[in-house]
Amino acid sequence: MRTAEEKGKRARTDGAEGDGGEPIDRALLLSIEKLQEVQDEIEKVNEEASDKVLEVEQKYNKIRRPVYVQCNEIIQKIPDFWLTAFLSHPVLGDLLTEDDQQICKHLESVFVDESEDIKSGCSITLTFSSNPYFEDKKLTKTYSMSDDGTVTVKATSIKWKAGMDIVNGKACTKKGEKRLLVDQSFFTWFNGAENESFAHGEMDQVADIIKEDLWPNPLKYFNNELESEFEQESDEEGSDEEAKDDMKMRGLKRRPEPSCSNWV
């Protein structure tokens, strides 16, 4: 392996002049060569650190698993827990249609099961109680990573009950007429998974959010809706009282709220 000084000597020999015919700063070239050597050493240390971090993650992944199992057992005793958590999430909440929300009332558990070495992938399983929509007890989506970093996906093919397929459209009766309603349901996430693949170890956004955000601490989102409603009411009441007090101090009377009837 050539030293920085040797590389600098070669640089001086190979290119004593720049494109414009001006002499190249040899000290600058030598500094850049030395910097590259240090940068290579940093990369080597980072790779070693990544390996050590992965070992620790693998160890504690096994320790965490029974704790998550216990967590899910407790959650099953709380009505509409997962529905509330999903709706309170800033991204997932926007993905649920009204039909999805009715289905999620039957959602008993969400579980992320990582591969033993963590690098090979994971599976996300939604477990449901008996419901009028589909026959399946569990819906699973599995992500498997190959050595080249490509992620392949497999998912449960949902067995919808007659007339209840909200993904491909279902027959609904409204005002005496039967029509086909097609909504972009959250459960389209399970459709076409056989044709999905992602490069560089990436997963789709929904899987990433569930795995990294919702599942590790669903209580944060379950409480969020209740707390935000309470805080909003408190803020509105507080602002109203402060406004009244301010008007009293200024000797002003509060103007009546505009009525929609005045706009007609």
List, by residue range, all CATH 3.30.1120.90 domains of the chain.
Answer: 80-219
Banded pLDDT at 174 (limits 50, 70, 90):
very low
> So what's the pLDDT on residue 140?
96
Q: Mean pLDDT over residues 232-237, rounded? A: 59
Banded pLDDT at 20 (limits 50, 70, 90):
low
Banded pLDDT at 117 (limits 50, 70, 90):
confident
Banded pLDDT at 56 (limits 50, 70, 90):
confident
**Quick check: pTM over 0.85?**
no
> So what's the pLDDT on residue 180?
37
Distances from the Cα of 146 to the Cαs of 5, 47, 54, 151, 209, in angstroms? 42, 20, 17, 6, 22
Question: CA gyration radius for the chain?
Answer: 30
Of 53 and 256, more confident: 53
Q: Mean pLDDT over residues 20-28, rounded? A: 72
Q: What percent of the chain has pLDDT over 70?
A: 65
SS (H, E, C) the chain: CCCHHHHHHHHHHHCCECCCCCECCHHHHHHHHHHHHHHHHHHHHHHHHHHHHHHHHHHHHHHHHHHHHHHHHHHCCCCCHHHHHHHHCCCHHHHCCHHHHHHHCCEEEEEEEECCCCCCEEEEEEEECCCCCECCCEEEEEEEECCCCCEEEEECCCCECCCCCCCCCEEEEECCEEEEECCCCHHHHHCCHHHCEECCCCCCHHHHHHHHHHCCCHHHHHHHHHHHHHHHHHHHHHHHHHHHHHHHHHCCCCCCCCCHHHHC
CATH match for 80-219 among 3.30.1120.90, 3.10.620.30, 2.60.40.60, 3.30.70.141: 3.30.1120.90
Average pLDDT of every residue of the chain: 77
Banded pLDDT at 201 (limits 50, 70, 90):
low
Q: Is the pLDDT of residue 15 over 60?
A: no
Q: Considering only 87-91, 106-110, 117-121, 173-177, which range has the smallest mean pLDDT?
A: 173-177
> So what's the pLDDT on residue 23?
62
